[in-house]
Each structure stands twice: as structure tokens, then as C-alpha cells.
Chains A and B, each alone.
Chain A
Amino acid sequence: MPPKSRPAAAPASSTPSKPATSSKTGGSMDAQDIVLGVWNNYQKITPQRVKLLDSFMGFLVVVAALQFFYCLLVGNFPFNAFLSGFSATVGQFVLTASLRIQTNPDNKKEFESTSPERAFADYVFGSLLLHFFCVNFIN
């Protein structure tokens, strides 16, 4: 029953474009220079730490995709295990994305109450919870 998780995969499959920004999305566009502009912009503006986060997100996407294809090809026998593994990556991804958004100085006005430290504490809290659930679910 692999197709079941397809909707879940939809966000994941759209996200590879994010860290490796738009090299794929841009591929379909004719405006090659726009993509290039984005890339350059990204390289220029993004601080090193955020890049680290981005690469982590990229890694998560790859892991998620791997799990998903494994599930497609080999079968999903311990469905619990697959599901918790997959949700762990997805959950970690969104949490990381949230952390990235919250720490982004551009969004400062949106998040008046959350300092980066607070955001990181939240991140740790969320991740702990996430992994607790996953471990509990995996049997």
C-alpha cells in the first residue's frame, strides 16, 4: 500500500527545491538568470548557521525520500516502523524549518516575543516530544 503515503510525500517532494534552492524549480523555467540570481542571493545573504540548518533539512528530505522509495520498492511490512521513521523525518523537517523561520531576522516583526534562544529551546522541546512519540510508536 505504498501510495497511501503519497499525500504525505507531496510536501516532501516539493521541498528539495528549498535548500538546493530552486535549481530544480528553476529548471522548468526559462528564466535561467532568475534562478542564478536566487542562488547567488542565497549564497550572499544567508548566514553560515542558517546554511547549516538548510543542509540539515536537505539531509532530512533525502532520508525521507529514501525511506519512501524503500517502502515503495520493498514493501511496508512493519508499517509502524516505516511510518514513525518517515514521520520523524517530516516532523524534524518542519521543526527545523520553523526554527529557521523564527530565527530569520527578516521575520523579526512577526515574532516579537521569541528570541532566537527561546526559539531554539522550543525547537529542542518539540524535537524531544517528536522523538519520544516516534520511539513509542515504532514498537
Chain B
Amino acid sequence: MRSIPLISSCVAALVSFAGAELNLSQPLLSKQVLLSTFKPPQVFKNANLVRTTNLDKGYPRETINVIVENIDSKPQSEYYLPFESSLISRVGGLEVRDKKDAEKGAFKVEVVGYDAESSATEYYLIHLPDPLSPKEQQTLSITYSVLSTLNPVPAQIGQSDKQYLQYTFSAYTPSAYLTEKQKTKIKFPNSDVPDYTTLPAESNAEKKADPQKQGSTFTYGPYNSIPAGAEELVSVRYEFTKPLTYASLLERDIEVSHWGGNLAIEERYWLENKGAHLKNQFSRVDWQKTSYMNPPTSALKGLNLPLHPGAVDAYFTDDIGNVSTSRFRPGNRESLLELKPRYPVFGGWKYSFRVGWNANLSKYLRKLSTGESYALKVPFLEGPRSPEGIQYSRVHLRVILPEGTTNLKFSTSVPIVDSQIDIHKTFMDTIGRTALSIHAINLVDELRERDLIITYDYPWAAGFRKPIVVSLGMFSVFAAAWVVGNLDTSIGKKKTA
């Protein structure tokens, strides 16, 4: 489990990308570059495939359960999963497990791409841990989320109107292999689905109306023998009167202080509501009138940040100072930080802010038995929790360890694209603190429970570096003052004499 991100980060290190600017349009992806003529070898077939698309949140969550079978004569371990190149940069949190043996952990996955920009299809390459012998079957469970793919239709609505989202996808699950049997289930948040594409019943394996409706669940399919790369675009439009919260960037700093026994966490968000824009301008009168009834709205009114118990000194500020509309509720099971932006964030509006809090280090840090090494276990992502979900386009996580830390290693189950270890200089540092920065893209709030585990060595002597340096500095200042004072008087005496 640990090795996957480590290796993928090594792959990522090959790919250089510029700094983490907000408006960096180039997608961040680690790729293995292939020739544009590449075609995945037809060594597998999908015996049965069920795709479930969950639209409860502000982004679709896909789960593909597929039984793959080796049709080649040799054992195979490389399974390709195709995506459109426009889509692949928005796919996040892709994980593959063995359906029958979920405990085994996620398989190693990497992105392979073409050198040519224009090519329409790119692949995720799934490495099966044990090569599949010929004629043998294995059930894969592939989960991923697709970010910023839901479009509000109509794109402009009134302030208190319902918001409808449109989702376009292929009724045939994209696959690089022949699929013998497949169907797609779509779970809507409610049964208000005014528009959807109907496919002719002939294509349906059971010759029934396509799609099949059952409450808030639609089913496209089943279909038989869909060749590799086949596509049948369908789109659905459904009600979703909730904000589409999208963080174009999240910067998360975790600072470890052994002296203070403190873990300081600060998060900086650049939020945007990707929902439908306001048709007219914002009307405070209407807002105040309706806010009593608290109807569902496409505006982002507040965020709830569940923190680990023991979090203290929480703050909520933005570029121009403290935001007074926050509330912090400490609790035994979890502390809750309730944030309210300065204004309701409607579709197309932005809001950037920072929150931070302190926590007791002893809950996160453990001293290892082997000498002076420590293990730190912190959540990779905390962030707000809400039923409609949050998408993070980029996440920069930085863990600042005490000065003099060496031999730093980390592991996490969150897919990351890059990591580096550098030096961060701050309050009265001489050599600077060791800082680990991790970059990840296309994360969603579902990953908020994942941990980041860091082990490092922190020699006992390093802890005394700062007090010694500071006292030496003070001492030298006093000494200098004393010398200068002595000099001065002697000159003065000479002069007055």
C-alpha cells in the first residue's frame, strides 16, 4: 500500500512542472509517454461490466466492477483503461482493487500518454499484482471521480430558482477491450430528472426501453458485445440545487514543533462555486426574504470543518482580516469549525480564505523504538465536510519539521503527483527547517480520512541548536555593546580633556 505512491512519485519526478500558481492551465499529470500509434494489446476481454455513477455530490463518482479474462496465451499483468484526453486531466482519485480481495490494497496505477497533443485517447495503466494466467478471470473494482464535468443548464438562473446540472457520458463504458456484457447505473440525488437521452430499444440486450427508470436510479443497458473503444454519448439533466464547491487550489501547511509539543495547521483555500450564474444581479432583498425559510440554494452559505478533538485556537481569516462570522465548537468526538463566508457565494463567485488551528502534537507523533526517529501521522486532507462534496483541483501539502531533521520518509494512500524536500526558514532559524512538500491534483473530499505517515530522525542535540544560537547572539550583542560603550567614553574623555 505504501509503495504505490512512492513509485508513482518517482515517475512524477521525471515530469517537470512549473510552480503552483493559481492560474496554471496546464494539467498536472504524471505520464509515461507513448507513441501516438500505440494501441493496447488485445490480451484481455471484459466478461461482465457494471458501472455505477453516483451523482449525489457535486461531482460524479464512478465505480466500475469488471470481470476481466486473459484471452492471450501468456500471463498478462497490464490492463489499460482509456479516457478521453480532455477528461483524463480531470479524473481524480482513481483506485483499483481486487473486488474479491479488497483488503489487499490498491493496485499500482499510472497514467500513460501520447507524445502527440492531438490524440483523443489516453490510458491509465493498471498493473495487476499477480499476472493473470491465460483463461483466468479476475474481478476488478475501479473507482474514480471526475472533476468539473457537471455543467449547469441553464447556465444562468434566478437567485432562488432550482439549479439543474447536465452530465454527459458514454452509455458504453469506455474500454480498451471487448466487453461482452455491460450496463451503467446512474444514481441521481432525487427523482427530478427532466431531460435525458433515450437510446433505441433495439440496441438494448433485453430490448427494453433504454434507460430503465427506478426511482432516482436510471440504468442504461445491458448491452452485449461492445467492441473496444465504442462510444454512445448520452446526457442527463437533473436537479441539484446545491453549490458546486470547487477549490482551484488548497495549500495546507502542517508545522511540527517538538519544543512546544504543538502541531500547527493552516489551510488556504481558493474556492469557487461552479454552479449556475445569477441571471440578474444579486438582490439582497430577496436573499433576506428567503433566508428565513432556509430553502435549498445554489449559493454556498457556509462550510463545516470537522477537526480532530483537541484542536484549539482556530482562526478564520481572509486577505483583509478576520472573518467574524465563524464559530468554533470544541467537542469530545470531534471539534467543529463552522465557517460562514462574508457573502453567500453564488455561481461564478469566488471566495478565498484561510483557516488554521493548533493541536497537541502527542496525538500525532510517536517516538520509534529505534533511537531518535519519530513517526508522524496526520490526515492528508481535512477540509470541509458537506453532503454536496468539494472538489480540489490542486492540493499543496507542506509539512514543516523541526530544524535539524534528517532521513525523512513518507507514505500515503492518496494519489500524489510530486513531492520534494526542501528547506524552510522562519523564526530564528540558522540552517532552516526541513520541509516536505507534496503536490496532488484532482482530489475530492472523500479522501479526507486518508493519512500521511512521515518518519524522520531528529537528533537530541538538534533541539538545542536554537536556544544556543539565540543566547549566543544575545551575548554577542551585549559584548559588542559593552566594547563600543568602553570605546566611546575613552574618545569622549580624550576630546574633553
Chain A residues within CB distance 8 Å of chain B: 115, 117-118, 121
- A115: chain B residues at CB < 8 Å are 495-497
> Which of chain B's residues have a CB closer than 8 A to the CB of A121?
495
| B496 to A, closest residue via Cβ | A115
Known: A115-B496, A118-B496. 6 other contacts (CB 8 A): A115-B495, A115-B497, A117-B495, A117-B496, A118-B495, A121-B495
- Kindly list chain B residues whose C-beta atoms are within 8 Å of the C-beta of A118: 495-496
> Interface of B with A (CB < 8 Å)?
495-497
Q: Is the interface of A mostly helix, strand, loop or mixed?
A: helix
Q: Tally inter-chain residue pairs, CB-CB below 8 A.
A: 8
Tell me if B's interface is mostly helix, strand, loop or mixed.
Answer: helix
Residues from chain B with Cβ under 8 Å of A117 in the complex: 495-496
Nearest-CB distance from B204 to chain A (Å)? Answer: 86
* Bound-state Cα–Cα, A68 to B488, Å: 42
- Bound-state CA distance A115–B497 (Å) is 8
Residue of B nearest to A113 (CB): B496
| 8 pairs of A and B residues whose beta carbons are closest in the complex | A117-B495, A118-B495, A115-B496, A121-B495, A118-B496, A115-B495, A115-B497, A117-B496
B496 contacts across to A, CB distance below 8 A: 115, 117-118
* Residue of B whose beta carbon sits closest to that of A114: B496
7 contacts between A and B (CB under 8 A): A115-B495, A115-B496, A115-B497, A117-B495, A117-B496, A118-B495, A121-B495
Given the complex of chains A and B, what is the CA–CA distance between A115 and B495 in angstroms? 8
Closest to B494 in A: A117
A3 to B495, CA, bound (A): 44
| Cα–Cα, bound, A118→B496 (Å) | 7
With both chains docked as a complex, state the minimum distance between the C-beta of B437 and any C-beta of chain A, in angstroms: 45
Cα of A118 to Cα of B495 in the assembled complex, Å: 6
Residues of the A chain whose Cβ atoms lie less than 8 Å from the Cβ of B497: 115
Residues of A within 8 A of B495 (CB): 115, 117-118, 121
Q: How far is the CB of B489 from chain A (nearest CB, A)?
A: 14
* Assembly CA distance A121 to B497 (angstroms): 14
**How many Å lie between the Cα of A5 and that of B496 in the bound state?**
40
With the chains together, A80 CA to B496 CA distance in Å? Answer: 39
**How far does the alpha carbon of A118 sit from the alpha carbon of B493 in the complex, in Å?**
10
A134 CB to nearest B CB, Å: 27
Query: How far apart are the CA atoms of A67 and B342 in the complex, in Å?
Result: 65
Report the bound CA distance from A95 to B497 in whole Å.
Answer: 23
User: Which residue of chain B has its CB nearest to the CB of A116?
Assistant: B495
Residue of chain B at shortest CB distance from A115: B496
Give the docked Cα–Cα distance between A115 and B492 (Å): 11
A117-B497 Cα distance, complex, nearest whole Å: 9
Q: In the assembled complex, how far is the CB of residue A99 from the closest CB belonging to chain B, in whole angstroms?
A: 15
* Complex Cα gap A69–B259 (Å): 73
Cα distance A85–B390 when bound, in Å? 69
A114 to chain B, nearest CB (A): 9
B495 to chain A, nearest CB (A): 5
Expressed in whole angstroms, the Cα–Cα distance for A95 and B495 within the complex equals 19
Nearest CB of A to B497, in Å:
8
- A86 nearest CB across to chain B (Å): 33
CB of B491 to closest CB in A, whole Å: 9
Q: Tell me the nearest residue of chain B to A121, going by C-beta.
A: B495
Q: Kindly state the separation between the CA atoms of A121 and B495 in the bound complex, as whole angstroms.
A: 9
Which residue on chain A has the smallest CB distance to residue B491? A121
